[in-house]
Amino acid sequence: MSIYLDADEVLDDRPECYTALQEAVAQKKSLRVDRLNLYKSPELLIPFDKCCGKWVVRVGPTEYESVSDQPVHKGEYQIVDEAAKEPRVKIWHLGFLRDQKAFYRKARAVFSMWEGELRDQRLIAAEEANKPVWEAENEWINDLVPHNEGYYPKAVKKWLEDRGHLIIE
């Protein structure tokens, strides 16, 4: 079995998360897990099904090909076709909490690996306008969802504190 995370994601550290993962390993199950996409502050989440996926497939047998968060269709990937929704497993996505310059540095690095250079016109236009890319083009920016859970894993708290974010508990 494998679980994979992006570099800007943290796995929840609560016991129920580990129990669900142990069950998945024992049953050789693929899981669709709850990704909390924090935006601008630790108290705000990107609205469901906007910008990036909330329920993502990140757990499955090692013989299955893993997928990115891009939309996939039935029959493309066995790991996705067999994935069961598992709300006890949460991933904390911190990438949109970066300051604007750091976000663009990351975007340029990632696109350079994939395409040799930054070719995404949305990113280029937003950076030239000195706006965060998602604010430059999306209407959902005014529909951010409050994160009322009040819990942050230890690694998330440390990351937030190191970057000057206030955590309300």
Q: Would you say residue 71 lies in a domain?
A: yes
pLDDT at res. 135: 64
* Helices and strands of the chain, counted as H and E runs: 6, 7
Which residues, 6+ apart, have CB-to-CB distance to 86 below 8 Å?
20, 24, 31, 32, 33, 34, 59
Q: Would you say residue 130 lies in a domain?
A: no
Q: Would you say residue 127 lies in a domain?
A: no
Q: Would you say residue 166 lies in a domain?
A: no
Q: Would you say residue 33 lies in a domain?
A: yes
Q: Would you say residue 17 lies in a domain?
A: yes
Q: What angle do helix axes 121-128 and 100-115 make, rounded to 10 degrees?
A: 150
Residues of the chain with pLDDT under 70: 70, 133-138, 166-169
| pTM of structure | 0.83
Q: Would you say residue 20 lies in a domain?
A: yes
Residues of the domain holding 87: 2-95
- The whole-angstrom separation of Cα 84 and Cα 82 is 6
Give the number of domains in the chain. 1
Q: Would you say residue 16 lies in a domain?
A: yes
pLDDT at res. 100: 77
pLDDT at res. 169: 56
Beta bridge partners of 36: 92
